[in-house]
Amino acid sequence: MNLEDLYRLLRSEHVQAQGIVDTLEEPLLVLDQAGSVLSANRGFYQTFRVRRDDTIGRSLFALGDGQWDIPELRRLLGEIIPRSAAVVGYEVEAEFPTIGRRSMLVSARRLVHPDNNSTSILILFEDVTERRISDAQKDVLLAETRHRMKNLLGIVRSLANQTDVEGRSAKEYRDAFLGRFQAVAEAETLALAGNAPADLGTLVEQALKSASPEQYRVVPGPAIRLRQPQIVPISLILHELVTNAWKYGAFSRPGGIVHLTWGIAEGDGKTVLHIDWREENGPPVTPPTRSGFGSRLIELSAVQGLRGKLERKYEPTGLRVHITAHME
Amino acid sequence: MHDAPRILVVEDEYLIALDLDAALRTGGYRVIGPASNVSAALELLKAERPDAAILDVNLAGQWVTPVAEVLQAMSVPFILASGYVAADLQAEAALRDAVNIGKTWRPELLLEALRGLLKAA
């Protein structure tokens, strides 16, 4: 190998090394012993949107608006050469010119040049801004989930406490409680599905599962996306109406039919959901002499759960219930 | 029953509010509310002074702190019935020293905590 070839080889290896360094997206700097920038890779220029002229030959601590001029970081870097220490993942959160607020991890190591034993410092930067944001979002989601879980247990306990016990067998109590529990569990499953917002049509379908298709006529209104706090109350209202229809209303007699429709009315800048439940061909209905927890549950779910209204009419043809709820 | 102590209940989840309401009535108290948000609770406080209060902390994303501050100013003792743990409440001066019976409280502990509040007041 002659001298020519050696030069060529070294040059191409240098080019190759430069090429590797430049393909790294992570910003990278080489500092001399005094802390001045000897070289920077393309990733550095792109990430911080700075020019070569503003970078090479300047002190790391003078770059940008002086974001790296942190006493702790100065001390850590100062120890790298004398003590052969390394800095791993030192986090700097700062406002950078042109790129704004960022969280950066700074890692640094000593480099010893093989030819002349001179030392320099290699600095690697990692932009963890997105990761920090997504971590924070996960924390919020986790706190929310924890809150929901505890609420849910409270709701179930409340249903167990409030479900009537007077004049009932243990089995009757259990069936009544489990029916409500099931309505809440199904509503919660829908609410947690997350990817698709819970639709009123889906809740209606779920509530009417116990009846056969000839027992009801659903005239669906527009697709209604329910907000999370609306799902449990609507599910409970539908559950109570269906249960009552089996016990005293249209479902208790052959030929009895439930008509269910819904719609949206707009006015005064408000959007109101109307749900209409109408029973037909059932046994004659009269207002109950004493109201159990069931009718109170419907009422509370409409008024407090949905911040809406509920109207109950005992018409000669059967029970009619009209529910209104404010949508946002 | 006429001079039964009046307890303000602030809770956004209506079924849990119902359960609190029932437990308090069974325990011989009168209930003010339940209020489901901060402004409703403050409105109730303008009308009458309760003997004590039970507060949920997170009311559909809104913190109950303003209600706790008004209660402190009125010298009305209160306890929390919240799923939050102590660490979540550290930043809230009005809330962090209050007794928290949790979200799935035992009725006897709820009544005991209330008796403690009323005795100290």
From first to last of the 121 residues of chain B, give the pLDDT tens digit: 568 999 999 999 999 999 999 999 999 999 999 999 999 999 999 999 999 999 999 898 899 999 999 999 999 999 999 988 888 888 888 898 899 998 888 889 999 999 999 988 7
CB pairs under 8 A between A and B: 51
Torsion angles phi and psi, residue A173, rounded to 5: -60, -45
Residue with tokens 């008024």: A303
| Most B CBs within 10 Å, among A139, A145, A147, to test the B interface | A147
The 3-state DSSP class for residue B44 equals: helix
Spatial separation of the C-alpha atoms in residues A319 and A202, rounded to whole Å: 23
Nearest CA in chain A to B106: A157
Share of residues in chain B with pLDDT > 90 (%): 71
Select from A103, A87, A80, A97 the least CA-distant residue to A32: A80
Instruction: Give Cα separations from A172 to A107, A166, A169, A175, A235 (angstroms).
Output: 68, 11, 5, 5, 21
Write out residues in chain A with pLDDT < 50, as ranges.
Answer: none
Q: What's the pLDDT at B2?
A: 61
Q: What's the pLDDT at A81?
A: 73
The reply to whether B26 touches chain A by the CB within 8 Å rule is no
Nearest by CB to B103, which of A154, A162, A300? A154
Which residues is A90 bridged to in the sheet?
A106
Nearest by CB to A157, which of B14, B84, B104? B104
Which residues is A279 bridged to in the sheet?
A258
**Nearest chain B CA: its distance from A228 CA (Å):** 11
Residue with tokens 């002659």: A2
Q: Is the peptide bond before B34 cis (omega within 30 degrees of 0)?
A: yes
Q: What's the pLDDT at B6?
A: 96
Q: What's the pLDDT at A12?
A: 64
Select from A73, A70, A65, A61 the least CA-distant residue to A37: A61
- The ipTM of this complex is 0.89
Beta-carbon-side half-sphere exposure of residue A240 (alpha carbons within 13 Å): 21
B98-116 confidence digits (pLDDT tens)? 999 988 888 899 999 999 9
CB A44 within 8 A of CB A25: no
Would you state the structure tokens that stand for residue A195, as one six-digit string?
A: 């990817």
The reply to whether A56 touches chain B by the CB within 8 Å rule is no
Pairwise CB contact (< 8 Å): A300 & B15? yes
CB B113 within 8 A of CB B99: yes
| Most B CBs within 10 Å, among A150, A163, A227, A303, to test the B interface | A150
The reply to whether B91 touches chain A by the CB within 8 Å rule is no
Spatial separation of the C-alpha atoms in residues A249 and A257, rounded to whole Å: 9
CB B53 within 8 A of CB B98: no
| Most A CBs within 10 Å, among B9, B11, B15, B84, to test the A interface | B15
Pairwise CB contact (< 8 Å): B88 & A301? no
CB A214 within 8 A of CB A281: no
Q: Identify the burial level of A21 via C-beta atoms within 10 angstroms of its C-beta, where 0-12 means exposed, 13-18 middle and 19 or more buried.
A: middle
Spatial separation of the C-alpha atoms in residues A101 and A105, rounded to whole Å: 13
